[in-house]
Amino acid sequence: MAQLYFRYGTMNSGKSIDILKVTHNYEEEGKPVLLMTSILDTRVGQGVVASRIGISHDALAISDEMAVFDYVEQLTEKPACILIDEAQFLTKAHIYDFARIVDELDIPVMAYGLKNDFRNELFEGSKYLLLLSDKIEEIKTVCWFCHKKATMALRTIDGQPVYEGEQLQIGGNESYLPVCRKHYMNPEADA
């Protein structure tokens, strides 16, 4: 029986390397996989899932207008699994489509992404994944400043914390740091 999975973690928790590992394992067994990512993630090019350690794989880019259920339903070769990177950027409609894919087409869906943004608000895609997923798993990493578990992303500009602004700003370590609650509230606090 297929299930909808949501694997979330903060920046630098290894979400992309995990999805690439799962993709590799399926493909090595000769099982077709549909690897997808948000069209908004253009750090290494549109339609590419890439890890900071240098591994990447082509993926289907999901636009806001894409009817995901219809796309998967019309495929001649059904995938053994659907894997989604940067799922936080997806819409409510996308997440409901993925739930339908699990329930009606019996294809497991594994979505990876951030839970909350730099303002500590849920992303739309993450909100609906938290509501609809059969299994929710946290991928953990440590705070940039101490050894506590990182649960938040601290946006910085020129090394200074930023707590207001547009939700969407694509970036890596130059823009975001994984932090614990203490260092989110006060980055200058002693570790």
Catalytic residues: 86
Collect all residues with Cβ–Cβ distance below 8 Å to 156 and sequence separation of at least 6.
162, 175, 176, 177
**DSSP state, residue 149:** B
At position 169, the amino acid (one-letter code) is Q
Whether 8 contacts 139, CB under 8 Å: yes
To which residue do tokens 């909350």 refer? 116
Cα torsion 134, 154, 180, 22: sign: positive
Q: Would you say 115 and 131 are in contact if contact means Cβ atoms under 8 Å apart?
A: no
The two three-digit tokens of residue 38, written as one number: 């948000």
d(CA 83, CA 18): 10
How many Å apart are CA 143 and CA 148, to the nearest integer? 6
